[in-house]
Homo-oligomer: A and B are copies of this chain.
Amino acid sequence: MPEIRKDPVTGRLVILSAERAQRPQPFALDRNPVDMGPCPFCAGNETMTPPEVFAYRADQKHSDRPGWTVRVVPNKYPAVVNDGNSSKYKDGIYEWMNGLGVHEVIIESPDHVENMAMLSEKQFEQVLLAYRDRMLYLSSDKRWRYILLYKNQGTEAGATLPHVHSQLIALPLAPKEVADEMTGARGYFDSTGDCVYCELIRREIHDGRRIVAGNERFVVLCPYASRFCYEVWVLPRKHLSCFDTTPKDDLAELSRTLRQILIRLNRQLADPPFNYMIHSNPLGEAENGFYHWHMEIVPKLTQVAGFELGSGSYINPVVPEDAARLLREVAL
């Protein structure tokens, strides 16, 4: 079973999972890539993955066969394992937990598409609905405290398989990055009575220089303190803490918004590898006035290197005002 360990100085969490080393290509930077064989995510190859836990398909009786539009399967090489209950241990300065959790793969198309922006609007919507359905389903399990939805597209962004897919990890505790956001947002709320993300949206719309696109429901912007070149955030204009309570109409609008920004990134940066992550309220925390769910999209154009690892800060050579202008100017 994997193990979740805590750094005795910083409290940073690490999931140690020897299972992950069993992947055909565990080290993304291997100089001699192995032949991956037939694609396990394509329709027709359903037996190559663990049995599906969820799918949109015309006939729900025939699982693990073609006929689906979006299919969710357990990760074959999971970082965490859904087996039993969470147990904490301590030995002097060291603390750890068993590596309990859920690690799923959302296969975003039955066809062998490698670039998410090539999916139709309808397919995008199905993907986002699947995210919401899985989050709603898993949040009823009281063992989970956080669900992180994320995507790695391209080898340089950490993808092992090229077929369009995203991943979901449910954990028994909220990780550091989310805890930091919650602390900051709660602090702002305590001193102003306002949501810091709502204020950020108002300021950015008024200023305009970092806005990439927008509509009645969502705003797309390059954040003021962008860590990475062409980093882009998508935020709902209406305050909402939990992604999984987003109404269906809003998800449809989000799918159009997201598809469009990926097309902009592809045209401006020649189909870059990228990651995106959805930051939502920790499970079991009620909808509140201070936390505002959002999506962070990070093209992978530079390496996280010694400075970033050693300082926890970032050097970004493209100011967000320039990135936003260039992305805004992309002809669609």
Residues 1-46 of A at the B interface (beta carbon under 8 Å): 3, 5-21, 23, 26-29
CB-based contact B29/A315 at 8 Å: no
CB-based contact B151/A16 at 8 Å: no
Contact A310-B148, Cβ < 8 Å, known A14-B316, A27-B229:
yes
Residues 181-233 of A at the B interface (beta carbon under 8 Å): 181, 184-185, 188, 196-197, 199-200, 203, 223-227, 229
Which residues of A come within 8 Å of B, CB atoms?
3, 5-21, 23, 26-29, 79, 92-94, 148, 150-152, 155-159, 167, 169, 175-178, 180-181, 184-185, 188, 196-197, 199-200, 203, 223-227, 229, 272-273, 275-279, 296, 298, 300-307, 309-320, 322
Q: Which residues of B contact A279 (CB under 8 A)?
A: 310
CB-based contact A317/B18 at 8 Å: yes
CB-based contact B304/A93 at 8 Å: no
CB-based contact B227/A12 at 8 Å: yes
Q: Within the complex, what minimum Cβ distance (angstroms) separates A61 from chain B?
A: 34
Q: Which residues of B contact A278 (CB under 8 A)?
A: 310
Instruction: Give CA–CA (A27, B227) in the complex, Å.
Output: 14
CB-based contact B93/A29 at 8 Å: no
CB-based contact A276/B306 at 8 Å: yes
Instruction: Give CA–CA (A312, B314) in the complex, Å.
Output: 14
